Amino acid sequence: MQRTYEYKGFTLEVFVEADFKVPKSAHAPASVGHVALVRIFRDGVQISTFSPLRFGDLAGRAFGSDVEALMGGYSAARKVIDDLFTRDD
């Protein structure tokens, strides 16, 4: 899954990847989570502002669903923009 968003003069590309966990025990089931990969571009510039960023949930684990990963990646990218590029005058 991939989505592109515009935010404060930046383009945010959010990709969702499945994150498979191999169980430590042969009796435990494998689990599948989702992580968000984010690329941030300044509008009109072809090279991304950062290397791709990989996000999980607040505890650093994979998200439970692809929709949660998509929205988590979008929220995290906005926070990066706000923290690094928005000045309080």
Number of domains in the chain: 1
CA 54 to chain centroid, in Å, comes to 5
* 17 Cβ neighbours under 8 A, 6+ residues apart: 34, 35, 36, 37
Q: What tens-digit pLDDT sequence spans the chain (89 residues)?
A: 899 999 999 999 999 998 776 666 666 666 678 999 999 998 877 777 778 999 988 887 889 899 999 999 999 999 999 998 877 65
Rounded to two decimals, the pTM is 0.79
Print the domain residue range for 20.
2-85
Number of helical (H) and strand (E) elements in the chain, helices listed first? 1, 4
